[in-house]
Every structure is written in structure tokens, then in C-alpha cells.
Amino acid sequence: MTVANIQDILQTLPSRYRGPGGAVAVVKNGELVGELVWGYADLRSRIPMAPSTRMPICSITKQMLCLILKDLERNPTPEMAKRGNVSRQLADGLGQLVPRELIEDTGLRLDHLYNNQSGIRDYWAMSMFWGTQPEGEFTLADDAKKALGRTKSLHYQPGTQYSYCNLNFHILARVVEHVSGTPLGELLAERLFSPAQMKTASLCADNARLPPPCVGYEGDESFGYIPAINRTQWSGDAGAVASLEDMVAYERYLDQAWADQQSLYREMAQDPSFEDGTPARYGYGLERMKFGQIATIGHGGAIRGFRLHRIQAPSERLSVVVMLNHQADAAAVAAHILQEALGLPKQQPLTCNPSPHWTGSFFDPDAQLVVEVRLGGPGQIIVTYTGDDEALNLVDECNAHSGSTTATISADSLVLHRIDDNRHIHAKRIIASQPPEDYVGQYHCAEVDSTFHCSGAGGMLYGSFDGFLGQGPAELMRYLGDDVWVLMCARGLDAPAPGNWTVVFQRDDHGQIGSVVFGCWLARKVAFIKQ
């Protein structure tokens, strides 16, 4: 690996991942060995992208919050030290800040939050039920408190599974602030940004007031690029802003920390596990992946108009940072750079023919979610379960796998092992049919304080929701069969949106519709009663 080789790899990126602009860097052995900045921070004003251009780094904030949490455990504030046991203070803070229903008889702990094993439903997904518009406002002072107050049950037992949840880190940040008596922005500045020499990084919780000049863009070349509108407030689950220069300083800081076996970062990077002892791949806001035999840790970030990713291969002392002001796949960009820089071979799918049974829609009765499968490129199938498409390579005509999922098809039965989630899924094919005409009506969920309106006729239904955030847009629904529909949600308060929601209408003993259950991977089993 040479600096010239790295620069050659980076020079291909602008045309390979086309869009308004971007900034990438490669750090090796604690030194910057490759950097490329291209395009425009603001297309309309023709302001070029620069290494000093700040962008929201979104969910990369989560690991920074966890660094603050661990630092407070080791180096408590004077007031925290006076009160004694810091771990007890933090645990008590959790109990004081969340609804008692989340704590009583569940065993919910702080580590379930930062390992994304809490079973709490994601509040950005749930905002659909509360009547949000995609460009709607969401405030920390008011709306976040109302959202947490309406979060009174879990969609699985803490510690048994993994699912991504921004609310976990929102709660964690409020616990940190409550126990330390210090705003998160000050803690980040004093305990991370200053020692890491991230000179222009800061917490900017209000996405409507991001620092100029960078603009995030929705759209593509065929549709056109449109300035993205963000009016949400985050603090902990996201909220930090930084430039490429800041992120290079962060990677250098983490490289130095890795050399110290007793560092906070080393402690955070230890492999987590589920309650049953099964190794987990997510902990302290860090995702663990392997490229060949090389272990990596990192995380992505996204809001509407921005995509970011940082990834580190500690054994190689190599880090990659990708920052885009458009919605190309930043994780794919980072993976491409890492694989090329390390000279890793590309895995070629087998060219066997897939079984004809693969394609179709399947129903996971445990999570009440739809799994959709279609054919991909040669030797591949595409599985959609979490809202994203996942490509699995065929092993033979009835078995396929990726780095995180294995799949087996047998006639109308689909078996998935989702390794990251710690779940074995046994799904049955949904038999397509013509939809009945008795779904239209009004439904209510008392727990989340939401009303669902189902309207339409002739097999074309629409769904919309009313809640404390207002009256949401009508979204299109598509019938699959067996009283199972999907409700499309391509744009939500957060971006990317949850995607298609599974909608399961339930009948009573007389065959009448009595209720409907909604779910997506981020928020499952939300039941509404017909009024």
C-alpha cells in the first residue's frame, strides 16, 4: 500500500458514486495517506466542497456519546464523585427518565440501550403513527418527551435480540446529562472534541440550523437534485457536526487510543454478547464486520440529504472516512476503498440456478413481518426484511448466504438465520389472492395515542395516521394475501425511512375485522382496534 496507490483508488470515486459532492480520507498508522474532496457543498450558489466543510455526522454521534459515558464512569464530575457509586447513579437515572412500564419486570439496563438490544421501538419509525409529515418539526423540549411518554412496551425481551433504535441513544444522552448535570454539547467539547483536536466539531442538535455552507440533497440525476429539508432535533442519537479535517483528527485520536490496552475505546471495542451468550456484532455505537479475515469496527450516519461512514481495521491501523452531501451509499464507498487498499479479493457468486420457489412474499409470524424475496444478479437472491435490500449469494439452488444472513427455501417455507439479530425466522409463503372489501374504517391504538384511517376501494387502499404531531399524509397500501398488506413509507421524519410497513388485519370468531397490527423491523407489533 502506497500513498500513490491510495490516491489512485480515491480518484475513481466521484464518477463511480455520482452526486453533488463528497469528501473522503484514509488514515494509516495514524497519518493521513489519502484525501479527496470533490464537487459542491452548495450547487445553486456554486460553493465548492472543502476539507473544512462541516456536515452532520448523524449516527456516528452514537459512539461519541458512548465515549462520554465511559469517560464519566472513569472520571466522574466532582458532584458525581461525592455521590459515590457512578454505575448506580447511571442505572438510577435510567429508571427516573423512562416510563415505569419499560423497567418493571423487563430487566432493562443501560447496556441494552448502547448495544441496541433493548426491545424499545425506534421513535423515528413510530413518528408515522403520531401524524408526522416527512418535513415536519420534531423538538427535543416537547416532542421527544411526548414520544418517550408514549413508549410503554417492548417488542422483544431485552438482551435477546438486536434491532436498531435511535431512542436508545436519546435516552442514554438524557441519562448522561441528568447524572452529570452538564449538557451533552459541553461534555463532547471538553472530553472528546478538544483532546482529539477536532477543532470545528460541535453538537448542533437542530437540523434546521446546520452550519453553512453545506447543503444536503435528495434526488438523482434523472429526477434532479433538490435541497433536503430537515427540521428534526437530535441529541445523542445524532447531532454532532464535523468537517473532514475533524474526522481525520478523530481517526488519529482513535488510532492512538487503540495502542493503549486500557483505553476507553479498547473497552468499547470488546465483543458484546446477547443474554444467551451468543456473540453480538453491535455495541457502544460500533458495528463489527469482517472483510475477508480482517475485523473492522465503525458506523454509518444518515439524515435526509447526507450519507456518511467511518470504518477502522485496527489490525492494519487503517481507517476510512466517507462524507457525502447526497444519498449514495456511503458504506459501500467505504467498503470499496478498504477492500482496494488492502488488496482483498472480490467474492464471486456461484453461477448455479436458483430454485423457482425463492421468489415471493413470506410471513414471519413471530415478529409479524413480511419477508420479500426476488432474484438478483447471477447466483444471487435479494431479501428485503429490515427495509433494505440484502444480496445473498447462492450456495446451491435452495440455500444462500451473506455475511449476516443464511437462507433456505423449501416449497412454501423460508428459513432465515439473521446472525446480527440473533434470530431464526420460519416464514410461510403468502398466497396471492384478491383482497376482500371490509378493511376500510377507523382504528385506534390507546398505548401510542394514534388513530389509523384506512380508506379506498377496488383493491386500492390508503392509510393515514393522526397523533400528537398532527395529521400525516395518506400512504399507498398493497395487498399481498391472507389479510396481509404493506403500507409504503418511502419518506419519513428520519431518512432513510422505515420502508414498507407490514399491515396484518385480524378477524374475530365471526370473520369480522376487529383489529390491525403494524410492524417494521424498527418497530413491531403495534396493534390498533377497529372503532
Q: What is the CA angle 465-467-472, rounded to 5? A: 40
Look at residues 80, 73, 55, 142 and name the one whose alpha carbon lies nearest to residue 110.
73
Cell of 471: 395529521
39 close to 18: Cβ distance less than 8 angstroms: no
Options 59, 180, 355, 450, the catalytic residue: 59
Cell of 314: 485496527
Helix (H, G, I), strand (E, B) or coil at 115: coil
Q: How far apart are CA 454 and CA 463, in angstroms?
A: 5
Packed helices 330-342 and 3-11: angle between N→C axes, nearest 10 degrees:
150
Look at residues 484, 239, 237, 246 and name the one whose alpha carbon lies nearest to residue 369.
484
Q: How far apart are CA 105 and CA 93, in angstroms?
A: 17
Annotation says 59 is catalytic: yes
Q: How far apart are CA 308 and CA 330, in angstroms?
A: 5
Q: How many CA atoms lie within 13 A of 147 on its CB side?
A: 27
Q: How far apart are CA 507 and CA 513, in angstroms?
A: 4
Q: Is the dihedral of CA 341, 347, 348, 349 positive or negative?
A: negative
Q: How far apart are CA 176 and CA 284, in angstroms?
A: 14
271 close to 280: Cβ distance less than 8 angstroms: yes
Cell of 133: 409529515
Q: How far apart are CA 196 and CA 190, in angstroms?
A: 10
Options 62, 180, 243, 530, the catalytic residue: 62
Cell of 205: 442538535
DSSP string covering 457-479, please? ETTEEEEEEEETTEEPPPEEEEE
What residues are labeled active site? 59, 62
